[in-house]
Amino acid sequence: MSYRSANPSSIGNRMSNLKFPNESVEYRAARNALLVAETNLRGQIEEVAGLRRELPAGGVLQEDYQFQELVDGGERTVSFSDLFDKQDTLFVYSFMYSDDMESACPLCTALLDAMDAQVSHIEQSIRVAVVAKSSVQRIDQHAQRRVWKHLRLLSSDSNTYNTDYFGETDGRQMTFGNIFVRKNGEVRHFWGSELAYEPAIEGGHMRHLDMIWPLWGVLDLTPDGRRGFMPKLDY
């Protein structure tokens, strides 16, 4: 799969009648040049998404992990295979919040703040689960403080999911996203956010899950960009 780069002159012609109030000639010329880059980036994003969809089948699930979750105030055990419910694709987010951490990861929390509001839409197509190596009670307490209402929150305290699927390395919790697919009664890994383990870009972090995180998308549109901003649990 490949994309075709935008032609600067064709974009300029299409944009010639689109002008904001009181903008300068210099602004329009620079904006049209930027539009070429934005159009090409869109093509690259589509190309990468296509390559991702074309991945061959990944490895069979290591084991049918048993998680703990709270339902109506009571704790219960749920199997990994049951997380699919009526869908065949599952997104599992590894949430940095272990029992030996004083508080939950602010960045994870910011991402999940947004995802909680979107999960009812996402789950029209796939299932979503959030896994943390902490007790279900502690996870629930944090969720209540954040007023999360829709995320399925699971404790991996009693299994090795985190280490097997790179949500933990050398005892250190990691932010990581994994996609699993169920087909013909078999669960296989499909994709993981492996950029988390690649060198960070200069002046930034790994950005391995920025595509699902609206915070950064909005800031990247502004004159000052991210400015080294990092989310906090409280402001």
Q: What is the pLDDT of residues 191-212, one digit of tens each?
A: 999 999 988 887 677 888 999 9
Instruction: Output phi, psi for 144, to 5 deg.
Output: -65, -40
Is residue 38 within 8 Å of 46, Cβ to Cβ?
Answer: no
Under a CB-based contact definition with an 8 Å cutoff, are residues 76 and 134 in contact?
no
Asked whether residue 13 carries a pLDDT value surpassing 90, the answer given is no
Residue 166 pLDDT level (bands cut at 50, 70, 90): very high
Residue bearing tokens 């998404």? 49
Residue 66: which pLDDT band, with cuts at 50, 70 and 90? Answer: very high
pTM of the model: 0.90
Closest by alpha carbon to 178, among 57, 92, 50?
92
- Angle, helices 25-53/8-15, rounded to nearest 10 degrees: 120
Q: What is the pLDDT averaged over residues 25-33?
A: 93
pLDDT tens digits, residue range 134-156? 999 999 999 999 999 999 999 99
- CATH 3.20.20.60 fits domain 66-195: no
Which pLDDT score, from 0 to 100, does residue 12 have? 54
What is the sign, positive or negative, of the torsion defined by CA atoms of 170, 106, 155, 66? Answer: negative
